[in-house]
């Protein structure tokens, strides 16, 4: 992002009252820290305290107002917005693990569907307090498609629990815009990576941890699924751009894809991580993954055209920063290599 644009955004956020749900997750942690850096007054809606979360370890939590609440309770959502006079809402809170959603679909639907309509309804009831509302969606909302890359006008066709929950959340956000004029925008990102992701079942943190301790990384798939991989700071810049532009008629109510438009197979991202770390990957291929979409590729030209957004972090640079974060987190000295 250009320096001038960053300066303009900083002025926009100074003193702005912002609510972030899902603040303890990877994106929520980085987003809260950046909002604080830009002078915003940040409120975090938190379900469970996790001392390992980057939200706490980075010190961001010390400068945020924290509301302990549950998205599945409309009272908690209303309180978080109303008591703190939230002008902007970033809705990131969700069950984000595909495997967990597969094992417990009800829990996934409660968090991702009920949680979304509760927060949207709270903002509607308190109108016109909230002037921008960003819903963090996913490429999973599109479901399986023979036509790629996904563009924003394509139908939402999730078929499995996690994918369906994201399709539903998107449709709910659209309903609150079209029916009630709620200033909603929707962000659909590819696979997000970066420091602070402690869900070790995900391919990037799991691979890095395995290689740092001298173990072979494990692939649940056959290594062939294709995904976009986007660095967490690029995601934060995307969310901020959406919120700032929410009052523009060509942006409000719209969904936007965000991706570097450099799709890779799972095996290729593992090899890229290993190359950055200076070791051989030699993964264990389980090929046991079920109900996962084979290929997902996003077209981000709409974001470039209407938001002037483009990713600032090439894959190698993002992976180097990510590996450095996990080295520090796991206490592995700089330059140390896995021993085989």
User: Residue 188 and residue 171: Cα distance in Å, rounded?
Assistant: 13
pLDDT for 289 equals: 85
Tally of residues, the chain:
340
Residue 301 is assigned to a structural domain of this protein: no
pTM of the entire predicted model = 0.94
Catalytic residues: 162
Q: For residue 140, which of 107, 183, 94 has the smallest C-alpha distance? A: 94
Q: For residue 25, which of 10, 42, 46 has the smallest C-alpha distance? A: 46
Q: What is the pLDDT of residues 257-282, one digit of tens each?
A: 999 999 999 999 999 999 999 999 99
pLDDT for 50 equals: 87
Residue 98 is assigned to a structural domain of this protein: yes
Q: How many structural domains does the chain have? A: 1
**Angular region, 106: left φ>0, alpha ψ -120 to 50, beta rest:** alpha
Per-residue confidence of the chain (340 residues) as pLDDT tens digits? 333 344 444 599 999 999 999 999 999 999 999 999 999 999 999 998 888 999 999 999 999 999 999 999 999 999 999 999 999 999 999 998 888 999 999 999 999 999 999 999 999 999 999 999 999 999 999 999 999 999 999 999 999 999 999 999 999 999 999 999 999 999 999 999 999 999 999 999 999 999 999 999 999 999 999 999 999 999 999 999 999 999 999 999 999 999 999 999 999 999 999 999 999 999 999 999 888 899 999 999 999 999 999 999 999 999 999 999 999 999 998 765 544 4
Distance of CA 327 to the CA centre of its chain: 22
| 244: its two tokens | 């700032």
Residue 26 is assigned to a structural domain of this protein: yes
User: Residue 146 and residue 194: Cα distance in Å, rounded?
Assistant: 30
Q: For 336, which DSSP code?
A: -
User: Residue 196 and residue 326: Cα distance in Å, rounded?
Assistant: 8
Coil, strand or helix at 115: helix
Residue 263 is assigned to a structural domain of this protein: no
CATH number of 69's domain = 3.40.50.720
**b/e sequence 236-262, b meaning 16+ C-beta within 10 Å:** bbbbbbbbbbbeeeebbbbbbbbbbbe
Residue 300 is assigned to a structural domain of this protein: no
Residue 15 is assigned to a structural domain of this protein: yes
Q: For 278, which DSSP code?
A: T
The set of residues, in sequence order, having a beta carbon less than 8 Å from that of 253 and lying 6+ positions away, is 174, 177, 178, 184, 185
User: Residue 322 and residue 204: Cα distance in Å, rounded?
Assistant: 9
Residue 338 is assigned to a structural domain of this protein: no
Residue 93 is assigned to a structural domain of this protein: yes
Which residues constitute the domain of residue 161?
Answer: 3-193+229-258
**Angular region, 290: left φ>0, alpha ψ -120 to 50, beta rest:** beta
């Amino acid at each position: 992002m250009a320096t001038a644009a960053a300066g303009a955004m900083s002025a926009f956020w100074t003193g702005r009252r912002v609510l972030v749900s899902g603040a303890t997750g990877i994106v929520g942690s980085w987003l809260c820290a950046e909002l604080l850096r830009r002078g915003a007054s940040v409120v975090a809606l938190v379900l469970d305290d996790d001392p390992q979360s980057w939200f706490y370890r980075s010190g961001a939590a010390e400068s945020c107002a924290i509301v302990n609440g549950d998205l599945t309770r409309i009272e908690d959502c209303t309180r978080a917005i109303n008591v703190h006079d939230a002008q902007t809402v970033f809705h990131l809170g969700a069950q984000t693990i595909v495997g967990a959603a597969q094992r417990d679909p009800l829990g996934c639907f409660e968090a991702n569907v009920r949680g979304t309509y509760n927060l949207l309804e709270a903002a509607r009831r308190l109108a016109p307090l909230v002037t921008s509302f960003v819903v963090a969606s996913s490429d999973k909302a599109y479901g399986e498609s023979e036509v790629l890359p996904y563009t924003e006008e394509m139908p939402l066709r999730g078929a499995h629990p996690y994918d369906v929950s994201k399709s539903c959340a998107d449709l709910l956000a659209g309903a609150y815009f079209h029916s009630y004029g709620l200033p909603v925008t929707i962000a659909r990102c590819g696979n997000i990576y970066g420091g602070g992701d402690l869900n070790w079942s995900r391919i990037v943190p799991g691979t890095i941890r395995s290689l740092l301790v001298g173990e072979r990384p494990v692939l649940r798939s056959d290594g062939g699924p294709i995904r976009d991989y986007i660095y967490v700071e690029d995601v934060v810049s995307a969310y901020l751009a959406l919120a700032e532009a929410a009052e523009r008629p060509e942006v409000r109510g719209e969904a936007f894809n965000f991706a570097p438009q450099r799709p890779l197979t799972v095996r290729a991202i593992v090899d890229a991580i290993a190359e950055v770390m200076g070791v051989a990957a030699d993964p264990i291929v389980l090929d046991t993954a079920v109900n996962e979409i084979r290929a997902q590729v996003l077209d981000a030209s709409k974001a470039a055209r209407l938001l002037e957004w483009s990713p600032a972090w090439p894959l190698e640079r993002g992976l180097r920063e990510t590996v450095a974060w996990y080295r520090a987190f796991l206490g592995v000295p700089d330059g140390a290599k896995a021993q085989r």
